[in-house]
Structure 1
Amino acid sequence: MAAPVPAAADGESRGGGVRDALGGLTTRGRSFLAAGVAATVCAYVLGQGDLLRVGLLLMVLPLVCVLVLYRTRYRVTAGRGLSPRRVPAGGEARVHLRMENVSRLPTGLLMLQDHVPYVLGPRPRFVLDRVEAGGRREVSYRVRSDLRGRYPLGPLQLRLNDPFGMCELTRSFSAYDTLTVIPRTESLPPVRLAGEGAGYGDGLQHSLALAGEDDVIPREYRYGDDLRRVHWRSTARLGELMVRREEQPQRARCTVLLDTRAVAYQGAGPDSAFEWAVSGAASVLVHMLERGFAVRLLTDTGSVLPGEGADGFAGATQDSADAAGLLMDTLAVVDHSDGAGLSRAYDVLRSGGEGLLVAFIGDLDEEQAAMAARMRRGSGGAVAFVLDSGSWSNGRPAGGAALDSVCRLREAGWTAVAVPPRASLAEVWRHAGSAPLEPGAPGGGATAFAGGWS
């Protein structure tokens, strides 16, 4: 539950003053006021004293209600709790609202209203009849979105009404929360991809990892160090106990390339090719983190996200769950880019493209297909999922352009798969893992899967 926030409805914080209070007259209050004015004028013209008293009563009643409501000194605090704060697209989150009357007087009729973006559902409203002094009320509602993004919740509004319904004042709290809707992810089967083993076995690179920071020479003994690591030569030379450095395998690396070019995709919405690519990238990132890889997310703009760890690799120096959270937050707001090519991503991979490369690529022309094929050179293994956005729009199998791109990537040693509309990522992933493991051989290390399923 969020920390209590003083309400602007507090009697000591009156906003714009009496003018705002008069602006809060309801239709009933304005009708009474207009009827009172009309009756007063008629009474003056006709010389009817009784009608004059009725007119004055009709005018005074809404004004008295405005004055009483304006001078009511309610002190109200409110809080909001969001559980969970990060949900996948199509998932639900529950918002808990708490309102507490901290004044010495009971409140009248109150209405709570929370501001919610329209994509999360209708605006929630709750009517609270009476809250005793020191009393508390808790209500909740659910929100759901099929679209990725970061959505603000709040601020919470409190409406105060008088017993006759003549006046209604609205005051807003200042606090708000943010709901993050991340891409859907699929659980992927543990398959072995071409080049995935780079970083294991005899050819594995090593890095220094000691109890403290990495050193290039033996360091002094620290409490808790294994005595079997004592470096006797340095100990004798320096006159104090020194320990050896030790080596451990470096975490294997995986780069996930997400093509976000607007020209590479047609259509929009949860079932579009672009959303499938985003969901696929999220699934692969989570899968690789679970398998112990250090991962990074690269887009066609050359942006390495989220930028944590060495060379942008997440999971290398942080917990896998934290790394996954950062990556999902990034993918929650990723959108189309204005770029027309993959050259920036190619430059990043050329400067540091070791490890496995998994790419989700949209429509490619001949020049960009050649550029994507050259990315394979700097990677220990490369897998490409090529989406023909035109086929996704009309529900037909992948067209000739997508198959030509697959063939071009295959000739360069990629494991290439043409993704049909509404494909299951787990099935496509399994199909990529069943491809031959001889990258660079004619027709080897790649496959074109143009079939489809529901």
Structure 2
Amino acid sequence: MSALTARGFGLLVAAVVLLGAGFRFAYPELVLLGTAAGTAVGYAVTTAVWRPRLVVVRSADPDRVARGEPAAMTLTVRNAGRLRSASLVAEDRCGDRAVPVPLLRLRPGRDTTVRYDVPTSRRGVVPVGPLRVTRRDPLGLVALARPYGGTVPVWVHPRVHPLSAVPTGAGRSLDGRVDRVPHGSITFDSLREYVVGDELRRVHWRTSARVGELMVRENVDTSLPRIVVLLDNRAGAHPGRVDGVAESFESACEAAASVLVAAYREDLPVVLLPVAPEPPGAGPADDPVTRGGGPLDLLAAARLADDDVLGPATTRLRRERLGDTLVFLTGPGGREDLGTVGALRAAYPSVVVGVFGARGPAPSGAPGLVVIDAADGAAFAAEWDGVRRW
């Protein structure tokens, strides 16, 4: 984007006035001055339009951190042109902050490196870039700004609070708390192509003969507990917001991250579901810049949705039966919905509810529910480890 500076606009107006007056009253001196002023503006535009060849490389260290942990961005700008890129002013975008980058008189073939901290005080996805380079002419009449390089996201995950206990599921192992069979042992799940290292006794010969290639049976171990984390991201469930941030929702995200990490540590299957999914194309998960690769990235990009209906989420959970342990994490506005969640006990033998930010104790909702009232994620972790039954 280019624009005349105040000095350039004034000189252009002066050129028009001088030329008009000179031709109108036949004053060659005024025509000469007007021509000189117009020539200066034209020279400034021509100089500023020239595009310097800059190569921008950026690297986040690291690109995924927990809230409050340090993260840094390293930006390297190299002059790939043959001419000196004089009078350049540059700044990098880091979220809502502008970071100045020194590029004044960067010689051909040389580069400059800038390293700065990325703000991680809030959970979210921090887009960094692109670099905005402003080129000015020597007279300061025209300023032309162009973007260079792409955008690199930094995922700020919720804080993770260690959990020493995990649900043991509806099925019990005879040899321990849970079974440890690598490929499952009880229930047939699907067929897949054979890969080197698979046991030949798991080959399904009838299907292999029909399709012309080796097919292997995949089984699942139904004694392994399967955990479903239902994150209540309805705006009505988290009414208290300060500067657009609902602390109860941040605490729910921390609790969800803590349950996910505890399940990963124990090699247990776990699924993360939001109550109100964002429509396609409307959320960070649909943006190629901020699209993540796992549940913790989804938690970093999670935000409150206007949809205030819990019914579709519970209907899906009842129909698909994604696990045997349901963990429902909500805010003070979701306390009245515990009866709806408690109705899922027929499909999920173990239901744990976490209520954050409530001023009073949550209602019982339904018999058999384990209800944890917590002020934040740390209090939830302490209460979670104190649960004696699932």
TM range (shorter): 0.7 to 0.9
Task: Report what 2:270 is aligned to.
Answer: 295
1:201 aligns with 2:170: no
Task: Report what 1:335 is aligned to.
Answer: 303
| Bigger radius of gyration among the two | 1
Question: 1:208, 1:248 within 8 Å by CA — same for their partners in 2?
Answer: no
* Alpha-carbon distance in 1 for matches of 2:57, 2:218: 52
CA distance change for structure 1 residues 259 and 224 in 2, over 3 Å: closer, same or farther?
closer
Residue 333 of structure 1 and its aligned partner are, at CA, apart by 2.8
The structure with higher relative contact order (CA 8 Å, sep 6+) is: 2
Question: 2:335, 2:355 within 8 Å by CA — same for their partners in 1?
Answer: no
CA distance change for structure 1 residues 363 and 281 in 2, over 3 Å: closer, same or farther?
same
Task: Report what 1:408 is aligned to.
Answer: 365
- Which of 372, 375, 385 does residue 433 from structure 1 map onto? 385
* Alpha-carbon distance in 2 for matches of 1:297, 1:333: 13
* Alpha-carbon distance in 2 for matches of 1:417, 1:186: 17
Residue 385 of structure 1 and its aligned partner are, at CA, apart by 1.5
Task: Report what 1:79 is aligned to.
Answer: 57
CA distance change for structure 1 residues 40 and 117 in 2, over 3 Å: closer, same or farther?
same
Q: Which residues in structure 2 correspond to 1:374-453 (within 5 Å)?
A: 374-387=343-356, 389=358, 391=359, 398=360, 402-403=361-362, 405=363, 407-409=364-366, 412-419=367-374, 421=375, 423=376, 425-437=377-389
CA distance change for structure 1 residues 57 and 294 in 2, over 3 Å: closer, same or farther?
same
* Alpha-carbon distance in 2 for matches of 1:42, 1:140: 55
What whole-Å deviation, never above 9, does each CA across 1:207-265 have from its counterpart, x for those lacking one?
7839xxx899xxx9x997999x9xxxxxxxxxxxxxxx999966432121222333322
Residue 296 of structure 1 and its aligned partner are, at CA, apart by 0.7
Q: Aligned with 1:124: secondary structure?
A: strand
Task: Report what 1:252 is aligned to.
Answer: 225
* Alpha-carbon distance in 2 for matches of 1:108, 1:53: 30
1:371 aligns with 2:346: no
Q: Aligned with 1:252: secondary structure?
A: coil
- Which of 104, 112, 115 does residue 82 from structure 2 map onto? 104
Question: 1:191, 1:430 within 8 Å by CA — same for their partners in 2?
Answer: no
Task: Report what 2:289 is aligned to.
Answer: none
CA distance change for structure 1 residues 226 and 340 in 2, over 3 Å: closer, same or farther?
closer
TM-score by length of 1: 0.63
Question: 1:353, 1:378 within 8 Å by CA — same for their partners in 2?
Answer: no
Q: Aligned with 1:284: secondary structure?
A: helix
Question: 2:226, 2:322 within 8 Å by CA — same for their partners in 1?
Answer: no
CA distance change for structure 1 residues 80 and 208 in 2, over 3 Å: closer, same or farther?
closer
Question: 2:163, 2:385 within 8 Å by CA — same for their partners in 1?
Answer: no
Q: Output the amino acid matched with 2:46.
A: L
- Unpaired runs of at least 5, structure 2: 202-216, 279-291
- Which of 360, 368, 385 does residue 329 from structure 2 map onto? 360
Q: Aligned with 2:328: secondary structure?
A: strand
CA distance change for structure 1 residues 127 and 79 in 2, over 3 Å: closer, same or farther?
same
CA distance change for structure 1 residues 26 and 359 in 2, over 3 Å: closer, same or farther?
same
Name the stretch that deviates more: 363-372 or 90-99: 363-372
* Alpha-carbon distance in 2 for matches of 1:61, 1:246: 76
What whole-Å deviation, never above 9, does each CA across 1:42-80 have from its counterpart, x for those lacking one?
66788776666555444433332333444x474333233
* Alpha-carbon distance in 1 for matches of 2:277, 2:112: 51
Q: Which residues in structure 2 correspond to 1:101-250 (within 5 Å)?
A: 101-118=79-96, 122-144=97-119, 146-173=121-148, 175-182=150-157, 184-191=158-165, 196=168, 198-202=170-174, 209=183
TM-score by length of 2: 0.72
* Alpha-carbon distance in 2 for matches of 1:225, 1:369: 46
* Alpha-carbon distance in 1 for matches of 2:308, 2:117: 40
What value does the CA root-mean-square deviation take over the aligned residues?
A: 4.3
Task: Report what 2:214 is aligned to.
Answer: none
CA distance change for structure 1 residues 45 and 127 in 2, over 3 Å: closer, same or farther?
farther
Q: Which residues in structure 2 correspond to 1:13-24 (within 5 Å)?
A: 24=3
Residue 199 of structure 1 and its aligned partner are, at CA, apart by 4.2
* Alpha-carbon distance in 2 for matches of 1:377, 1:109: 71
Q: Output the amino acid matched with 1:330.
A: L
Question: 1:43, 1:49 within 8 Å by CA — same for their partners in 2?
Answer: yes
Task: Report what 1:281 is aligned to.
Answer: 256
Residue 190 of structure 1 and its aligned partner are, at CA, apart by 0.8
1:28 aligns with 2:7: yes
* Alpha-carbon distance in 2 for matches of 1:223, 1:281: 37
Question: 2:75, 2:114 within 8 Å by CA — same for their partners in 1?
Answer: yes
Whose strand fraction is larger, Structure 1's or Structure 2's? Answer: 2
Question: 1:101, 1:136 within 8 Å by CA — same for their partners in 2?
Answer: yes
What whole-Å deviation, never above 9, does each CA across 1:11-51 have from its counterpart, x for those lacking one?
xxxxxxxxx8xx64322223333345555666678877666
* Alpha-carbon distance in 1 for matches of 2:14, 2:218: 91
* Alpha-carbon distance in 1 for matches of 2:368, 2:56: 60
Q: Output the amino acid matched with 1:329.
A: D
